[in-house]
Amino acid sequence: MRRLPETESSATRGGRPAALERALGHRFERAALLEQALTHRSFGSPHNERLEFLGDGVLGCVIAEALIVRFPDLSEGQLSRLRASLVREAALAARARELGLQDHLRLGEGEAASGGATRPSILADAMEALFGAVFLDGGYAAARAVVLRVYGEALSGLDARALGKDPKTQLQEFLQARRRALPQYRVVATRGAAHRQIFEVECVVVGACAGAPEQRASGTGSSRRLAEQQAAEAMLRLLGE
């Protein structure tokens, strides 16, 4: 892996998104791999699905190693649940947004017009594809360094007491511990064709005392369940958890 000088421009370099390379901490020797990782199948071939498959395996291995080192006393089941919480679609999409990945995706006209650049499933797939592309470009050590860089804050803030509980469970337990009413979820919008709908869900938490305002957060996903999990995650951030 080659670190990029801080003085280089964040503009596109020779057709390559320099800001993204700098955020990853890796400059691609084979620029075609980076281009492919950012290409959705709606844009054309070669697209990123094979790289996504590879990146999924690389990500799982790196995260498993990081958890083994950080939590030497946890059982296999506990480690599995923590890993699942880090590599699920919502977590990957969150990492992608932090990198500004949505600004670099190559989408077909229809996919772009329907908001594909912000769709969690597309962002998550592209994030995994990037890990796979780095692996092919620079080997496992380079891919490991990129994964740990991208997941740095998420790993450092990981609470083993949560044991990989999903956001809806965490939010419910957070509110119950404070004797507050449970959250309410409702679908506020659906978009897209029937076979690939995107759901937008709102999570509402009533005030801590009578007369206090409600708190609202929203999430989107390729299913109602995923959208609810994203909304719960957003609510936890809003509540400072």
Q: Which residues are designated catalytic?
A: 56, 128
Give the 3-state secondary structure of residue 162: helix
Q: Which long-range contacts (CB under 8 A, 24 or more apart) does 202-209 make?
A: 202/231, 203/171, 203/228, 203/231, 203/232, 203/234, 203/235, 205/175, 205/180, 205/181, 205/235, 205/239, 206/180, 206/181, 208/178, 208/180
> Residue 220: what are its φ and ψ, rounded to 5°?
-130, 155
**DSSP result, 2-20:** -PPPTTS-SSEETTEEHHH
Which residues neighbour 115 within 8 Å (Cβ) at sequence distance 6 or greater? 191, 198
The DSSP symbol for 115 reads T
Tokens of 98: 């932090």
How far is the C-alpha of 198 from the C-alpha of 121, rounded, in Å? 10
How far is the C-alpha of 171 from the C-alpha of 182, rounded, in Å? 8
